[in-house]
Amino acid sequence: MREKGKDIFLQVCNKCILPETFPGIHFDSEGVCNFCSTKGVEQSYRKERSRLNYKFGTLIKEKKGKGCYDALMCFSGGKTVLTH
pLDDT tens, residue by residue, 19-44: 999 998 999 999 999 988 877 677 77
- Give the mean pLDDT of 6-24: 88
How many angstroms separate the first and last alpha carbons of the chain?
Answer: 58
Count CB-CB contacts under 10 A for residue 13: 21
Per-residue pLDDT band for 63 (boundaries 50, 70, 90) equals confident
Question: Do residues 40 and 28 lie in contact, with contact meaning Cβ atoms separated by under 8 Å?
Answer: no
Does residue 50 lie in a domain region? Answer: yes
Does residue 70 lie in a domain region? Answer: no
Question: Do residues 48 and 40 lie in contact, with contact meaning Cβ atoms separated by under 8 Å?
Answer: no
Does residue 24 lie in a domain region? Answer: yes
Q: Which domain holds residue 26?
A: 2-63
Does residue 73 lie in a domain region? Answer: no
Helix, strand or coil, per DSSP, at residue 57: helix
Does residue 22 lie in a domain region? Answer: yes
Count of the separate structural domains present in the chain: 1
Does residue 11 lie in a domain region? Answer: yes
